[in-house]
Amino acid sequence: MDEKQTVRVSKALSRVLRHDPDSIGIRLDAAGWVPVDDLLAGLARHGRGVSRAQLDHVVATNNKRRFAFSEDGRSIRASQGHTVEVDLGLPAAVPPPVLYHGTGSRTVGIILREGLRPMARRDVHLSADTETAVRVGSRHGRPVVLVVDAAAMAAAGHEFRVSANGVWLTDAVAPEYLTQAP
């Protein structure tokens, strides 16, 4: 599978497993899981045929580890980023003292005034390193990294969870916990 094909399949999986399972006639369970056979059959019925080997390749090589197989390998789900209602069952976790959020330069002012909200997603996504935040911000124009005082948030009772691929999740980040990285 070449890189272009891998990206194409990854984007299709993201759309279906995070946002629109109905588009291929599948149902996610309450935790976001769907049987692999159902996913592959749904993709094939809608002209997006993917083999199990190709699916395995995309899951194994995705640098953001966006997808996870169940322990028995029979089900798959997106690790986070859902707009459809799911409960990933992630336990509360103690965050590192500082987390980061990447955004584009045009949104920095409003975020610093109003804070971070999940928008269409279920959670605000944060990273543990600035490199990831820069990559995320680059998708939105000139990247800007915001520093989140996760220790202060946790001390104030805000809950954090960490997804299978290391993305930190929280409901929202108020402006008082945000600063712009130099």
Is 149 exposed, middle or buried (CB count within 10 Å of its CB: 0-12, 13-18, 19+)?
middle
Average pLDDT over residues 123-129: 95
- At 120, is the pLDDT very low, low, confident or very high (cuts 50, 70, 90)? confident
Supply the CATH classification number for the domain 98-180: 3.20.170.30
Supply the CATH classification number for the domain 3-78: 1.10.10.970
Average pLDDT over residues 78-92: 91
Query: What are the sequence ranges of the domains in the chain?
Result: 3-78, 98-180
pLDDT, tens only, 41-61:
999 999 999 999 999 999 999
Of the listed ranges 16-20, 30-34, 83-87, 145-149, the least confidently predicted one is 83-87
Both structure tokens of 79: 């690790």
pLDDT value, residue 21: 97
Both structure tokens of 107: 């949104």
Q: How many CA atoms lie within 13 A of 83 on its CB side?
A: 9
Q: What percent of the chain has pLDDT over 70?
A: 100
